[in-house]
Chain A
Amino acid sequence: MGNILNEIGIENYIFLSVLLFCIGVFGVLYRRNAIIVFMSIEIMLNAVNLLFVAFSTYHQDAEGQVFVFFSMAVAAAEVAVGLAILVSVFRNLGSIDIDNLKNLKG
């Protein structure tokens, strides 16, 4: 079986993940709802994962994919803790609008 990249080209994947990543950034900046912000972060993570796999194939090496596994583990842990925090924030403030979280102000 030949290299799939011979037919698609690594550049296409690079541009795809760059765009995906930027959409994620855009979401973080654009929305006030903390859950959507979370989702944007997930999108960014996936953009990176996708690039990992693309280069794993490019180098014909498994290590890129191994890193994706670790990144998934971290993402899972992050989402679990993050959502728990959001829940307790919601309990205390009644909303998860990040613009309302101004207790950090010195």
Chain B
Amino acid sequence: MEMNLAILLLLSPFVGFLFNVFFGKKVSKGFSGTIGTLTVVVSFLLSVCFFAQLNQNGKAFEFSLFDWIQVGNFKLNFGILLDQLSILWLLFVTGIGSLIHLYSISYMHDDENMHKFFAYLNLFVFFMITLVVGSNLLVMFIGWEGVGLCSYLLIGFWYKNQDYNDAAKKAFIMNRVGDLGLLIGIFILAINLDTINFTDLNAGVVALNKTGGNQALQWAALCLFIGATGKSAQIPLYTWLPDAMAGPTPVSALIHAATMVTAGIFMVTRMNFLFDLTPNVQHVIAIIGTITALVAAAIGLLQNDIKKVLAYSTVSQLGLMFLALGLGAYNVAVFHVITHAFFKACLFLGSGSVIHGLHGEQDMRKMGGLRKAMPITFWTMMISTLAIAGIFPFAGFWSKDEILMTAFHENKTLWIVASIASIMTAFYMFRLMYLTFFREFRGTEEQKNHLHESPSLITIPLVILAVLATIGGAINLPGSTWLNHYLEPILAGKHEEHHLGSTEYMLMGIALVGAIIGIVLAYSKYIKQAFVPKTDNEIVGFSKTIYNKFYVDELYTATIVKPINALSNFFRTTLEPALSKVVFSFGSVAYGLSSQGRKLQNGNIGLYLFVFVIGICAIITYLFIAQ
């Protein structure tokens, strides 16, 4: 029974995908959207069932669908593992997924390829579930690759625009680099431990560490982390995520903010026993997470595209999560993943609502004053902004505060850098709000006349997410740490409770003050001084560097793309013709010889017979006489 339900949970979105692929064009747009949404809702309800069951008996549920690979000692099942961690992920993947599907019915209604959109979305949810519920690294890898594929398909959904296609390819290729790391990590573990089942790995890793295999474990952990940097957009592989905003806004909300990009964090949390044994790698993770948080936040300060701001904000928040992972506070990272999923999905959907209301305008310089025209969008986004900025008592406050608190206890430098990144977050998020919703409208007259609140299918998910962004912190309040207890079987009680003392209250206060400083700065600049960002070519000095994203893309082009291009050019123009000349020369020699030999075959039977008899004489002479 449970097994069937679990399979249904997995396959339900896949059914939606098949339906939309094969019949989506024949049915009406609303119907194909409804099917797409319902299949995800089914998965969500089943996840809730499993969650309730797990809460009752607290036992993880694992089963194998079939034997998959058997090579020597290495044996692998295609298995499903439903434990605390995977069900938690399932809940918000399918939950937020359902809301975003609902939202997309309205948002994508004018698109001619709506059925295709829903097919891709359903496929994405299917692969995401596979990623989460896989009982070993290889099943997870299938999901990992699958979500990458869907991400590619959805970023390039409007394939008629070449820039969008380029963005899709960029995302795919950058992910590929990371995936190679992940794959190598899996190989290292498989070679050394003969298993990649999560349940067996734990004991295996500990045993290997005792017998002096720490070197291999470090390499494995580092490779796995490289995989995570690709999927979760960390330095140095983060540049694809801002470009991925080329896709439709619901995609940005679902894939590039709430779910797929958290796969790296999921994987690291899954393998926490491995990372716990490799402190060097943990340091690397913490440092990279912090730097990413700071750099992305800095770039976000000056972006003018509403979705780009949110994208850099996502990268920055993911950096904070990796900081927590690097410090060994997996539960804190998971907590932030969940709250972040709520408010970031809400922000993206809100920005989608704004873009929808302005008929595709994404530049904040041409917005403003939308507060009155779109009240629901404004208030929900405002709540989420307060949450991401870390204002008491919204969800983001609790999770971000936990991260900062952990950082403070472990390493003061990281704490300072992360706090600066938080202040920046507050600043650029309120900059976004002020530019978009306050003061007067800066767009064209025509747009102004058409300003309207989005339909209810768009606003309902916004409201739900806003509510969650408000109260989401309750699952892990410093006093009643439900999430920590819930995750105990996975993390084996490795976390330590922060006892609420004066230091902790002081830290909360500092964080809050920092957020308020950011907000005040934004207020004075964009409300008081009524500052509107300048046009692209007026930006000078250091802000120009930031506005151009520290020229990281250009750097990658110069150091990686250009040399490879030059090398390929060299191969194509010089090496390949030279090689073909060598190969062709063999052919021409054979051709010349055979065209001479052809003359012997003149069709004269008499001659053939002569040669035949003489040949026999020669053979006989050689065999019997010459010896």
- CA A32 to CA B610, docked complex, whole Å: 13
Q: Mark A5-43, 1 if CB is under 8 A from B, else 0.
A: 000000000000000000001001100100000000000
Q: Mark B573-611, 1 if CB is under 8 A from A, else 0.
A: 000000000000000000000000010011111100110
State which of A25, A28, A29, A102 has its C-beta within 8 Å of the C-beta of B604.
Answer: A102
B605 contacts across to A, CB distance below 8 A: 98-99, 101, 104
A106 contacts across to B, CB distance below 8 A: 598, 601, 603
- CA A37 to CA B227, docked complex, whole Å: 81
B613 interface residue per 8 A CB criterion: yes
- CA A52 to CA B259, docked complex, whole Å: 91
- CA A101 to CA B605, docked complex, whole Å: 8
Check A25 against B603 for contact (C-beta < 8 Å): no
A103 interface residue per 8 A CB criterion: yes
Check A105 against B606 for contact (C-beta < 8 Å): no
Check A29 against B613 for contact (C-beta < 8 Å): yes
Check B601 against A25 for contact (C-beta < 8 Å): no
Check A105 against B609 for contact (C-beta < 8 Å): no
- CA A101 to CA B606, docked complex, whole Å: 10
A99 contacts across to B, CB distance below 8 A: 604-606
A32 contacts across to B, CB distance below 8 A: 606
- CA A103 to CA B603, docked complex, whole Å: 7
* CB-based nearest A residue for B606: A99
Check A105 against B613 for contact (C-beta < 8 Å): no
B604 contacts across to A, CB distance below 8 A: 99, 102, 105
Check B609 against A28 for contact (C-beta < 8 Å): yes
A102 contacts across to B, CB distance below 8 A: 603-604
Check B606 against A98 for contact (C-beta < 8 Å): yes
A98 contacts across to B, CB distance below 8 A: 605-606
Q: How large is the interface on B (under 10, 10 to 19, 20 to 34, 35 or more residues)?
A: 10 to 19
- CA A29 to CA B613, docked complex, whole Å: 9
Total interface residues on A, CB under 8 Å, equals: 12
Check B603 against A105 for contact (C-beta < 8 Å): yes
Majority DSSP secondary structure for residues of A touching B: loop
Smallest Cβ distance from B611 to chain A, in angstroms? 11
* CB-based nearest A residue for B599: A106
Smallest Cβ distance from B625 to chain A, in angstroms? 14
* CB-based nearest B residue for A22: B613
B613 contacts across to A, CB distance below 8 A: 25, 28-29
* CB-based nearest B residue for A101: B605
Q: Mark B221-248, 1 if CB is under 8 A from A, else 0.
A: 0000000000000000000000000000
Q: Which chain B residues in 79-103 approach chain A with CB under 8 Å?
A: none
* CB-based nearest A residue for B610: A29
- CA A32 to CA B607, docked complex, whole Å: 12
State which of A25, A29, A103, A104 has its C-beta within 8 Å of the C-beta of B606.
Answer: A29
Q: Which chain A residues in 49-106 approach chain B with CB under 8 Å?
A: 98-99, 101-106
Smallest Cβ distance from B613 to chain A, in angstroms? 6
A25 contacts across to B, CB distance below 8 A: 613
B606 contacts across to A, CB distance below 8 A: 29, 32, 98-99
- CA A17 to CA B464, docked complex, whole Å: 110
Which of B601, B604, B606, B610 is packed against the most chain A CB atoms within 10 Å?
Answer: B606
Smallest Cβ distance from A51 to chain B, in angstroms? 15
Smallest Cβ distance from A56 to chain B, in angstroms? 23
Smallest Cβ distance from A28 to chain B, in angstroms? 6
- CA A102 to CA B605, docked complex, whole Å: 8
- CA A28 to CA B602, docked complex, whole Å: 19
- CA A32 to CA B613, docked complex, whole Å: 17
B residues near A, CB below 8 A?
598, 601-606, 609-610, 613
Besides the known contacts A98-B606, A102-B604, 14 further A-B residue pairs in the complex with CB atoms under 8 A apart: A25-B613, A28-B613, A29-B609, A29-B610, A32-B606, A98-B605, A101-B605, A103-B603, A105-B601, A105-B602, A105-B603, A105-B604, A106-B601, A106-B603
Listed A/B pairs (6) with beta-carbon separation below 8 Å? A28-B609, A29-B609, A29-B610, A32-B606, A102-B604, A106-B601
Q: Which 7 A-B pairs have the closest CB atoms?
A: A105-B603, A102-B603, A104-B603, A106-B601, A98-B605, A105-B602, A25-B613
